[in-house]
Amino acid sequence: GATALVAVLNHFSKGLPDVSRLRQYEPSETTRIYAANGDLLASLYKENRTWTPYEDISPYVIKAIVAVEDSRFYTHRGVDPVGVARAAFYDIRHQGAHQGASTITMQLARNLFLTPTQNMERKIREMLLALQIEKKFTKDEIIELYLNQIYFGSGAYGIQAASKTYFNKPCKDLTPAEAALLAGLPQAPSEYSPFVDERAAKLRQILVLGRMVDVGFLEWKEYREALTETRNFEFKRHKKKEFQVLKLPYFTSFVLKQLYERYDEDLLYRGGLKIYTTVEPDLQLKSEQIVHDMVAADSRAIHVDNAAMVCIENKTGFIRAMVGGTKWTEKNQFNRAWQARRQPGSSFKVFVYTTAIEAGYSPDTIIPDTEVTYRVSPTETWTPKNSDHGYLGPIPMWKALMLSRNVVAVKLLTMVGADRVIEYAYKMGIREKLHPHLSLALGAVEVSVLEMASAYSVLPNGGIRVQPTAIKKILDSNGIVIEDHTFPKQEEVLSETTAALMIEMMKRVVESGTGTKAQLPGREVAGKTGTTDDFRDAWFVGFTPEFTSAVWVGNDDNSKMWHSYGGDLPARIWSRCMAAALKGMPATRFGDVVEGKKGILMCNDSKRRANSRCPNTYKEYFAPGQIPDFCRMHGQDTTTNQLPAPPPSNVGDDDNLPTEAGSPEDAIPSGEDPLAIPQPTDPNWPGPPPDSLPSPNWDSDSDPLGQPQDPLSQPNDPLDNPPIPQEVPMPDSTPGKGTEL
């Protein structure tokens, strides 16, 4: 008989898994995504589980589970002979298999290593595995494995998830009454779930409490207190979900998109990662409310239905808020902040001006705002128009940007080269494909709100690009760092001087140009407006020393708004969102002293360097070699011996904030046709920057706009000796798209 028993055991022992592998056991754990302040944003799981060590589990839970599942757990060695005999007697008496006699260790073996098939072979293998587990693990280790592995219903795997699911508290804080309810669930999670049948759950709980008293784990006083507590339990139905977004879905959906691109789905849903993001919940919620309320308030007046906003912290690249629309719903989860591609209008002019400054032009370089016609093909010409269909004559670059003059932007594009504008746009953060059309100067491209915010942030960073990120750090289930973007990678893409000069020009846009509604009292703000042809898109993109934000307003179906300018609703949304971001922060300045830049007092009348007699002055910033002569309008200055000069002709400002005229989508001059060289019709073709500046490095092989004559190489100033233009037809209007304010 003994020989036969040994033979049977040897037979069933073949192929058993090695239980020592439990030392390396890694159960499926829930991945959690957190906001910057530690708030939980989302949970990802196949099995909602958080591994919890033995010492962090309430002793009442351990007592309750032992009392109801295996009261002789601490005295047997994996198999309970008394329990087996009792179960066998019961089954014989009732002529069937009704009692399993499975100990906690046997249940653990079954859950981890065996199939749920009920037959004698599985039961024997279960016992053999239990005996092996007891030899290699302590009772406390077995309890820890068991309580972290078993299913408690409602999507909760393990005691920690169960405690959070049913009582919203850590399992170490569970009371006897709460522990008893949870201990009663594993036998039949669906039947005893308080979300399904609260009465059945409480009856099962009382049974567990009684077993705890029977085996000496609970005093009668504690039992009565637990019964009183039970009467006050209230449970709300819980809907099981594999993925559950808890907060801030516009931002969280963007984080998930990045995670899906970087990691395998199994790791995300089973790996127990801890993902710390950059979003500030208060700012996010406030920004969502601002966007919703302000679009709703103007929806009828200007026929608008949506908007998007992104706020980036300049020094870190952290995305602090992302609003992808007026409202996130089950049926409308499109995130316009990064999924939509819209035309930026004149907000793209910043890249044209930045390229010009990098090439050696200065804010005071004079560019004629005068009519010009380009031959864009052997049979077509294009005459860019300003929004007011008028011209201001020769004006400095800073004023042209401040008033968003289209003609000057197009002329600058031809002077510095479209390829170079595209190059700097890419360097600063634009990722969409750009084409070297003349209309590029007016924003006839498609970009995302996130791209624009990222690219503009280079300027307040002093020419340093910081990759925008929504994820600060990722830890694995053991707390080991997988990713860390706390100290982001930086890349210098512009000179510090260029960034400083662009800031000064863009400050004027907000102070007295097209973006005055973006002002923040007591704070320095710089930015640029944008309004596309037919009012299909309106933008304001701007920054303070701390943050850069981009705001887009428009309609999902690309229909026209009614005279909606970038300087109106987008600028107002920007101002309120930025005020929320800066709340509680001291006012700061962009800085008066930057390496390579010098602040000079300028005469407000002559626009030259102020002397001691100039009544109205302002500060302007110049790179070395670009500082202008002293003013001679206000009489000889005894300190400089400068003689007075007649005042310059007055140039009026464009006080209107209009849309801008259209340009042809295919406005690409042919490099083979001599007419492809820009053919100006005005006698004031743009002159060169000062002689002391370096010449732009023209490259005819790569310049798709053709090779304009280098303005720096001309022996005579074209303002004094204008070129004779070739006559070309002058159409009344040229249809196009993408022109903007």
pLDDT digits (tens, 9 = 90+) for 568-594: 999 999 999 999 999 999 999 997 434
Q: Which of 41-55, 146-160, 183-197, 352-366 is modeled with the greatest confidence?
A: 352-366
**Predicted pLDDT of residue 669:** 35
For the residues 485-497, what does the mean pLDDT come to? 91
Main-chain dihedrals φ then ψ at residue 2, nearest 5 degrees: -65, -40
Which residue, 276, 304, 302, is CA-closest to 291? 304
Q: Is 419 exposed, middle or buried (0-12, 13-18, 19+ CB in 10 A)?
A: middle
Q: How confident is the model at residue 100 (pLDDT cuts 50, 70, 90)?
A: low
Q: How confident is the model at residue 685 (pLDDT cuts 50, 70, 90)?
A: very low
DSSP 220: H
Check whether 690 has a pLDDT greater than 70.
no
Beta-strand relationship, 490-492 and 526-531: unpaired
Query: How crowded is the C-beta side of 500, counted as CA atoms within 13 Å?
Result: 18
**Predicted pLDDT of residue 672:** 32
**Predicted pLDDT of residue 425:** 98
**Predicted pLDDT of residue 661:** 34
Residue scoring higher pLDDT (12 or 694): 12
Q: Could you give the percent of the chain with pLDDT greater than 90? A: 60
pTM above 0.85, yes or no: no
Q: What is the pLDDT of residues 56-83, one digit of tens each?
A: 999 999 999 999 999 999 999 888 877 6
Which residue, 21, 45, 24, is CA-closest to 33? 45
Check whether 652 has a pLDDT greater than 50.
no
Check whether 691 has a pLDDT greater than 70.
no
Q: What is the pLDDT of residues 507-565, one digit of tens each?
A: 999 999 999 999 999 999 999 999 998 899 999 999 999 999 999 999 999 999 999 99
**Predicted pLDDT of residue 15:** 57
Determine which one of 71, 102, 154, 346 is catalytic: 346
Cα-based distances in Å from 454 to 409, 448, 465, 524, 549: 22, 10, 8, 19, 9
Give DSSP secondary structure letters for 297-330: HHHHHHT--EEEEEEEETTT-BEEEEE-SS---S
Give kind and range of the element (H or E) at residue 22.
none
Check whether 342 has a pLDDT greater than 90.
yes
Find the angle CA(394)-CA(411)-CA(558) to the nearest 5 degrees. 115
Domain at 47-231: CATH architecture? Orthogonal Bundle (1.10)
DSSP 389: S
**Predicted pLDDT of residue 678:** 42
Q: Supply the Cα-derived Rg of the chain in whole angstroms.
A: 37
Check whether 649 has a pLDDT greater than 50.
no
Q: What is the pLDDT of residues 346-394, one digit of tens each?
A: 999 999 999 999 999 999 999 999 999 999 889 999 999 999 999 999 9
163 is catalytic: no
Q: Is 199 exposed, middle or buried (0-12, 13-18, 19+ CB in 10 A)?
A: exposed
**Predicted pLDDT of residue 404:** 97
For the residues 10-38, what does the mean pLDDT come to? 76
For the residues 301-308, what does the mean pLDDT come to? 96
Task: State both tokens at 241.
Answer: 């979900």
Cα separation, 98 vs 284, whole angstroms: 57
Question: How are strands ordered across the β-sheet holding 31-34?
Answer: 243-245, 40-44, 31-34, 274-277, 471-475, 481-484
69 is catalytic: yes
Find the angle CA(725)-CA(726)-CA(727) to the nearest 5 degrees. 110
Determine which one of 29, 47, 69, 178 is catalytic: 69
Q: Which of 169-178, 256-265, 485-494 is modeled with the greatest confidence?
A: 169-178
Q: What is the pLDDT of residues 430-473, one digit of tens each?
A: 999 999 999 999 999 999 999 999 999 999 999 999 999 999 99
Residue scoring higher pLDDT (98 or 285): 285
Q: What is the pLDDT of residues 204-214, one digit of tens each?
A: 999 999 999 99
Specify the residue for token string 């922060």. Answer: 585
Q: Could you give the percent of the chain with pLDDT greater than 70? A: 76
**Predicted pLDDT of residue 422:** 98
Residue scoring higher pLDDT (731 or 71): 71
Q: Rounded mean pLDDT of the chain?
A: 82
